[in-house]
Amino acid sequence: MEVIITSGPQEIASIGADAFCHLVDRLPGAVLGLATGSSPLTIYDEIARRCDAGEVSFAQASAFTLDEYVGLSADHPQRYRNVIAAELTDRIDIDPARVNGPDGLADDIAAACAAYEAAIAGAGGVDLQILGIGTDGHIAFNEPGSSLASRTRIKTLTAQTRADNARFFGDDPDAVPQHCLTQGLATIMSARHLLLVATGRAKSEAIHHLVEGAVSAMWPATILQHHPKVTVLVDAAAASRLALSDYYRETYRGKPAWQHI
Ligand code: F6R
């Protein structure tokens, strides 16, 4: 696991956008894994800026989102399909028909989850998956207690996550759906490169467990310690509880530029 303690949002945006842009330069038909939430937004803005400036093209790429609320109407602004369109995919030249997400309005939820797994596998798997992390250590919506071997399925959101996400629903936790469809931890682990982004002190405990804690379903993100290629992109506040922060800084400073993302 590589931990990059950045100077803040600008550096996060630049390193994160580099990861996506270098990937599609190398592999124009790359499969991108996209997350919603606040953490990736500066990266998405920088990707959109570069695409607008003609510096990069996603015309041949495809994308899969991590999760979706169950039951939000097709035109609901917080439906993750609509959120990701507004935040990224409508702002770049990716073909909207190649942007996929779990179907939170499906009549047969189990079949929709199986179909989503099959679609990801059929596309050849995700090349680069961006992730946020919940204050309780969730990734996608794999809440504490999730099976470390889980695949796409329905989950119940915790009271903590609904409180955290209430800001998108008029500050009303009761307006946040109770259920979601989410890629499982094993689904996420199948992606070839994982890029996890976190900022702010509220994330410092989760980042501490992710990087330096024991692997446990109680902190679902800790499963990433078993992945061979994970980049953790944080600011100083999110890194504030890391015991080895000096070592991570020194390692990144000493890395030759050609080895950067
Ligand atoms: C969203 C998702 C969630 C968020 C997490 C952090 O697709 O998968 O796991 O990444 O809840 O959210 P923010 O970035 O808003 O703090």
**Per residue in 205-216, pLDDT tens?**
999 999 999 999
Gap from CA of 211 to ligand 1 centroid (Å) = 18
pLDDT over threshold 90, residue 204: yes
Candidates 87, 127, 138, 235; catalytic one: 138
Gap from CA of 133 to ligand 1 centroid (Å) = 6
pLDDT over threshold 90, residue 259: no
- Catalytic, 179? Answer no
Mean pLDDT over 228-251 rounds to 98
pLDDT band at 261 (very low <50, low <70, confident <90, very high): confident
Atom of ligand 1 nearest to the CA of 138: 9
pLDDT band at 87 (very low <50, low <70, confident <90, very high): very high
Gap from CA of 197 to ligand 1 centroid (Å) = 10
Residue 70 is predicted with a pLDDT of: 97
Residue 10 is predicted with a pLDDT of: 97
pLDDT tens column, 178-195: 999 999 999 999 999 999
Candidates 143, 164, 208, 235; catalytic one: 143
Residues contacting ligand 1 via CB (< 6 Å): 35-39, 66-67, 132-134, 138-140
Give the integer Cα–Cα distance in Å for 80 and 20.
20
Candidates 46, 67, 68, 164; catalytic one: 67
Mean pLDDT over 230-259 rounds to 95
pLDDT over threshold 90, residue 257: no
Measured at the alpha carbon of residue 214, what is the angle toward residues 210 and 219, in degrees to the nearest 5?
50
Give the integer Cα–Cα distance in Å for 260 and 142.
30
- Catalytic, 67? Answer yes
Torsions phi, psi for 206 (to 5 deg) = -60, -40
The structure tokens 């439906």 sit at 79
- Catalytic, 136? Answer yes
Please say whether the beta carbons of 19 and 128 come within 8 A. Answer: yes
pTM: 0.96
**One-letter amino acid for residue 229 of the chain:** K
Torsions phi, psi for 11 (to 5 deg) = -70, -40
Gap from CA of 173 to ligand 1 centroid (Å) = 16
What is the sign, positive or negative, of the torsion defined by CA atoms of 162, 221, 45, 238?
positive
CA-proximal residue: ligand 1, atom 11 (nearest)? 134
Give the integer Cα–Cα distance in Å for 93 and 152.
28
pLDDT over threshold 90, residue 16: yes
- Catalytic, 193? Answer no
Q: Of the residues 133, 185, 232, which should be mutated to test ligand 1's pocket, given the most ligand atoms within 8 Å of the CB?
A: 133
Residue 256 is predicted with a pLDDT of: 85
Please say whether the beta carbons of 142 and 216 come within 8 A. Answer: no
Q: What share of the chain is helix, strand, coil (3-state, %, to 5)?
A: 40, 15, 40
pLDDT tens column, 42-55: 999 999 999 999 99
Mean pLDDT over 49-68 rounds to 98
pLDDT band at 246 (very low <50, low <70, confident <90, very high): very high
Residue 260 is predicted with a pLDDT of: 80
Give the integer Cα–Cα distance in Å for 89 and 62.
10
